[in-house]
Structures are given as C-alpha cells and as structure tokens.
Amino acid sequence: MREQSSKYGIKDLEIAERPRERLAKMGAGVLSTAELLAILLRVGVEGENAIQVGQRLLSDFNGLAGLQKATYTEIKAQHGIGEAKAAVIKAAIDLGRRLASQSTEDKPIVHSPEDAADLVQYEMSALDQEQLRVVILNTRNHVLGVKTIYQGSLNSSQVRVGELFRPAIRENAAAIIIIHNHPSGDPSPSPDDVAITKAIISAGKLLDIQVLDHLIIGQGRFISLNRRGLGFSED
C-alpha cells in the first residue's frame, strides 16, 4: 500500500494535537510513546494516521521494549513501514542505547542501587539472554568500568566466583556491584541468585573487595538483593 503523505499524515490533526507542535511548545516529556514514534514516521497509511501507526507498532511488539528487541527486518515487514522508516526507528532506539551506555561518564559516582541500575538498565532489560556484569568502583564509589563476565543461563554451579573479581583486582578496585538480568522481565530473585550472592560476598571478604550489591534487572524495574537483605544479611 502506498503511503498517503497528506490525507493520512499528522497534518490531519488539529494543530494543538500535532506531536511536533506539542513537543516544541511543551517538550518531549509530555508526548506519549506513540506520538514520539509518529514524529519519526512523519506520515501514516490509508486508514491510519502516523500516531495510529505508532500505536499499532507498540501493540504488535508488546510495547517499546519489544520494539527495541525487534530486528530491522521485523520492523520493516510491518504494514506501512518499509526500509526508510524501519531504519529511522532502529537508529533512534540505538541512539538511546548509546546514550545510556555513556552514563558512566555522566554519572561517575554510585550513591544508590538506582544509580547502579541506571548504568545498564536500558540495555540489559532488552537482552534475550541472561548476562552477568560487574560494576567496578574505587574507594569513593567512582565507576571505573562495567565488565560483562557471563552470558547465558546462570546458576550457582556454573559461575566461577573468582572470575567476577579479576577486573576489580586489575583495577585495584575497592568495591564491586554485581548485576544480571532476567530475560523473562520478572526480576524476582531465585534461590540460585541468593546462593551466588552469598558466595560472592564471602570471596570479596577474603580479597578485601567489598560487594556493595547484587541487582537483578527486569522489564522496567529492578531488585536490589542488598536492600532486601537477601544474601547480605548476617546469619
């Protein structure tokens, strides 16, 4: 179906309802995700304006996180999208990912579990496989680096605790934070997660490297095992 550049575009809407005009007046924060997508799409298709196409994409891919995980080919195959619009959407999403990955420079000090989660949550919440990363910190909780140690299904028998500390030892770090994701989207800790945490804390005491937290990243939220006293509480 050929795109209709005027009949079914954003120009259909009253000026006060047009996403670009609203963004210019009130900022991007007031726009819905579908409206932001509409700005990228520019025009709709027969029977749908650009906002409705954006809403359909979000519905078909189960929200923005699903759209982030979708491949270029999957997006391109959607009705009314095609190569150019799929490229724009993927480019915009990857710009967001790159901005999030640079947050170690923007937020070099970790004061809370939220600060640590902000370093990786955008990227890790979209992963199809489990990953375990280590945030390396100095004595003032400045971030020295974030290293990916494991990828794939994790359990307490597979994780070699010593490998988690190698980057910290090389950097002469004072502390680490362990972070892994649950691709299911549910960050609820499993018994294995708690067992791994206890083993890591014990090893850290021997190496004189403090384990500040173990975060589990889910879809749109995370859990701090330290905050919940799981693996960190004194028996």
Q: Write the pLDDT tens digit of every residue in 189-224.
A: 999 899 889 999 999 999 999 999 999 999 989 999
- For residue 22, pLDDT beyond 80: yes
Q: Each residue of 41-98: pLDDT tens digit?
A: 988 888 888 889 999 999 999 888 888 888 999 999 999 899 999 999 999 988 887 7
Share of the chain above pLDDT 90, in %: 49
Q: What is the pLDDT of residue 3?
A: 43
Question: Domain 104-228 belongs to what architecture?
Answer: 3-Layer(aba) Sandwich (3.40)
Q: Which fold has domain 10-100?
A: DNA polymerase; domain 1 (1.10.150)
Q: CATH topology of 10-100 equal to that of 104-228?
A: no
CB 130 within 8 A of CB 153: yes
What's this model's pTM, rounded to 2 decimal places?
0.63
What is residue 46's predicted lDDT score, i.e. its pLDDT?
Answer: 85
The whole-number pLDDT of residue 95 equals 86
Helices vs. strands in the chain: H and E counts, helices first: 11, 5
Q: 3-class DSSP state for residue 136? A: strand
Joined together, the tokens standing for residue 10 give: 């954003």
213 or 13, which is more confident: 213
Residue 130 has pLDDT above 60, yes or no: yes
Mean pLDDT, residues 104-113 taken together: 72
Residue 8 token pair: 């079914």
Q: What are the residue ranges spanned by the domains of the chain? A: 10-100, 104-228
The answer to whether the CB of 116 falls within 8 A of the CB of 110 is: yes
Q: What does the pLDDT read at residue 6?
A: 45
Range of lowest pLDDT (111-125, 151-165, 175-189, 220-234): 151-165
Average pLDDT, the chain: 85
- Please state the rounded mean pLDDT for residues 114-128: 90
pLDDT value of residue 18? 81
Residues 138 and 148: their CA atoms lie apart, in Å, by 18
- According to the model, what pLDDT value does residue 157 have? 55
pLDDT confidence of residue 155:
62
Distance CA 176, CA 144 (A): 10
pLDDT score, position 14: 55
